[in-house]
Amino acid sequence: MGSETASSSGGIGVIPRRRGNTADRRPLTRRTLLASGMGVGGTLLMANALRRSASAFQATPSAQAGHEQSPPEATPSWLLWEPADLVEPEVRASDGGELSTELRVGYAWHDIGGYRLHMRAYEGGVPGPTLRVQPGDTLRLRLHNDLPPNSDPVPLAADLPHNFNTTNLHTHGLHVSPDGIADNIFRSMEPGARYDIEIAIPEDHTRGTYWYHPHHHGSADVQITSGMAGVLIVEGNFADVPEIVAAREHVLIVSEVLFDYLGAIESYDTVWPEAVPRFLAINGQREPIVRMRPGEVQRWHIVQAAHESNLRIALDGHLLHAIAYDGIQSDHIDLSDDLVVAPGQRVDVLVQAGEPGEFLLHAIANDQGYPSPVGPLARVVVEGDLEPMELPTALPASPLPSIGDDEIVGRRELVFSAIQPEFPRAANYQEFRFLVDGRVFDPDRVDQRVTLGTAEVWTVVNDHEDDHVFHIHTNPFQTTHVNGEPLARPVWRDTVIVPREGSVTFRSRFLDFPGKTVLHCHMMNHEELGMMQVVEFVNP
């Protein structure tokens, strides 16, 4: 792959692909809305729903919750729901050099797309509050785990999902300490207790879009899929680009909504089979309405929080102007019809509204070794008076200097692979293992030991038939090659698609913050089933 374009396998993710003329894109109508309204695997979801009574989706997750099942309804509620305007998460901003706040984790009722779900959540909302900080701030969180005690014992194979009510917190993409009470994903925050988290953000930290989510091994997938995620913005990037400063901002957290026949996730079997009811959502809403005026420019902070799927995102009748990836501002504008965004990745895009009408923001067909989900994400309604705004024609230099050959002191190769049964579509999750260098995750084993003050070249090889998504904590990296072919322009990331039976090569600086953290596949079911390693950063 010799240029920075999306391949059929998604490339490195959030890379644009030009498909040419978009004149054939049609505005969204009520007919097309209803035709596509079942979301991901629409006919599958319809078939599953028709096999069940409406009461099944109005129930609590278990008798343990102390509630009884609601009576059946004459008309299933999923046939009656109507899209509503996009709701932005609550904003909590730093003041005087710190952001000091509390986060409560507990069950909450959540009405979405005609279903009444009972899910784990931050502060009772899906998503959690948006945290806005400045470089040099200290983030002080007191996390209250108000979930009930775990009902399941730790399995004999500790790499299998377990203890869904034990949690912790990871600030995905931040270049901060992984040690102590900072961004330490080895902490276990048990039900019924409270925990302090204190993260010092460096003065020279890159400004951009990050996010936070649980990362306790065994429960992270279930909790993220429940909606436990929130945006974390380090403010101030593009402050000297007036066209971007003038743009109205939206936070868009994209997720896959999964649930069982009780409207809950209390067993890992719920998030494993492809046949489980599911649809796509933004900010915990099914097909929310984003309103724009003709000619208006908006800035969308897109966070991809789906639990396992790459998404190819497109807006009918409009181009996407990507200006930042994974919290790191770009030095150029990527103009495209669509963007492939992998779980864990973020992309900031500018959108300029065209003529009045209704347009569909949706996930379109993509091949990640199997079909990526497709379906509606949001409705963009362009209406009202003309608001002539300008798009920038150029962007300032990247905040991170390129890594030169003279900095490189070492090279490593990692191999992602999987063990699966002969008939995988009929198998249970316990029959699968996802491996790094032939081994499943062991929190007591250090797999990679890296000396601080150095830079290295890493190649991640994917020996599996499906794409995987590489993420490493603490340090961003500069992707230089895909499948051994150099990119026309190296790109900074903290999360990258590793194409099936292919590879990705990147360079990274390891300058500070000693301690242990992890690298893993950000397809969360793969992480939970073993595809993770311990990384230790050590002083010279």
Q: Are residues 393 and 425 in the same domain?
A: no
* Range of weakest confidence among 38-52, 102-116, 387-401: 38-52
User: Which two tokens mark 264?
Assistant: 């809950």
Give a yes or no: residue 493 inside a domain.
yes
**Which residue has better confidence, 495 or 13?**
495
Question: Quick check: 357 and 32 in contact, CB under 8 A?
Answer: no
Q: Are residues 352 and 429 in the same domain?
A: no
What is residue 74's predicted lDDT score, i.e. its pLDDT?
A: 64
What is residue 151's predicted lDDT score, i.e. its pLDDT?
A: 86
**Which residue has better confidence, 5 or 100?**
100
Neighbours of 154 (CB within 10 A): 12
Give a yes or no: residue 30 inside a domain.
no
Q: Write the pLDDT tens digit of every residue in 341-390.
A: 999 999 999 999 999 999 999 999 999 999 999 999 999 999 999 999 99
Q: Are residues 347 and 413 in the same domain?
A: no
What is residue 52's predicted lDDT score, i.e. its pLDDT?
A: 29
Q: Are residues 498 and 472 in the same domain?
A: yes
What is residue 72's predicted lDDT score, i.e. its pLDDT?
A: 53
What is residue 44's predicted lDDT score, i.e. its pLDDT?
A: 35
Q: Are residues 121 and 86 in the same domain?
A: yes
* Mean pLDDT to the nearest integer, 24-46: 35
* Mean pLDDT to the nearest integer, 89-115: 97
Q: Are residues 485 and 513 in the same domain?
A: yes
Is residue 20 pLDDT above 50, yes or no?
Answer: no
Q: Are residues 395 and 426 in the same domain?
A: no
Q: Are residues 83 and 154 in the same domain?
A: yes
Torsion of CA 171, 172, 174, 175, to 10 degrees: 110
3-state helix, strand, coil split of the chain in percent (to 5) is 10, 40, 50
Torsion of CA 30, 34, 35, 38, to 10 degrees: 150
Is residue 43 pLDDT above 50, yes or no?
Answer: no
Q: Write the pLDDT tens digit of every residue in 110-134.
A: 999 999 999 999 999 999 999 999 9
Q: How far is CA 441 from CA 165, 271, 411, 451, in A?
A: 20, 20, 22, 22
Q: Write the pLDDT tens digit of every residue in 249-298.
A: 999 999 999 999 899 999 999 998 766 768 999 999 999 999 999 999 99
3-state secondary structure of 212: strand
Give a yes or no: residue 32 inside a domain.
no
Give a yes or no: residue 56 inside a domain.
yes
Question: Quick check: 168 and 184 in contact, CB under 8 A?
Answer: yes
Is residue 59 pLDDT above 70, yes or no?
Answer: no
Is residue 530 pLDDT above 60, yes or no?
Answer: yes
Q: Write the pLDDT tens digit of every residue in 478-494.
A: 999 999 999 999 999 99
pLDDT band at 159 (very low <50, low <70, confident <90, very high): confident
* Mean pLDDT to the nearest integer, 41-56: 32
For 71, the domain range is 42-399
Q: Are residues 204 and 346 in the same domain?
A: yes
CA distance 50 to 45: 9
Average pLDDT, the chain: 88
Q: Write the pLDDT tens digit of every residue in 163-175.
A: 999 999 999 999 9
Strands 289-292 and 346-352: unpaired
Is residue 19 pLDDT above 70, yes or no?
Answer: no
For the purposes of burial, counting CB atoms within 10 Å of the CB of 73, is it exposed (0-12), middle (13-18) or buried (19 or more)?
Answer: middle
Query: Based on the structure, what is the number of domains in the chain?
Result: 2
What is residue 275's predicted lDDT score, i.e. its pLDDT?
A: 63
pTM: 0.88
Is residue 245 pLDDT above 60, yes or no?
Answer: yes
What is residue 383's predicted lDDT score, i.e. its pLDDT?
A: 98
Give a yes or no: residue 468 inside a domain.
yes
Q: Are residues 73 and 220 in the same domain?
A: yes
Q: Are residues 376 and 454 in the same domain?
A: no
* Mean pLDDT to the nearest integer, 49-64: 33
CA distance 497 to 345: 10
Final residue in a domain of this structure, among 364, 384, 399: 399
Q: How far is CA 172 from CA 43, 220, 229, 344, 353, in A?
A: 34, 13, 10, 8, 31
CA distance 68 to 144: 27
Give a yes or no: residue 312 inside a domain.
yes
Q: How many residues are listed for the chain in this entry?
A: 540
To the nearest whole percent, how much of the chain has pLDDT over 70?
Answer: 85
CA distance 185 to 256: 23
Nearest to residue 415, comparing CAs of 502, 345, 287? 502
Final residue in a domain of this structure, among 376, 399, 422: 399
Q: Are residues 415 and 505 in the same domain?
A: yes
**Which residue has better confidence, 415 or 75?**
415
* Range of weakest confidence among 56-65, 199-208, 288-297: 56-65
Nearest to residue 538, comparing CAs of 451, 438, 458? 451
Is residue 6 pLDDT above 50, yes or no?
Answer: no
CATH number for the domain spanning 496: value is 2.60.40.420
Q: Write the pLDDT tens digit of every residue in 399-429.
A: 999 999 999 999 999 999 999 888 877 788 9
Final residue in a domain of this structure, among 371, 399, 427: 399
What is residue 78's predicted lDDT score, i.e. its pLDDT?
A: 76
- Helical (H) or strand (E) element with 244: helix 242-245
Give a yes or no: residue 108 inside a domain.
yes
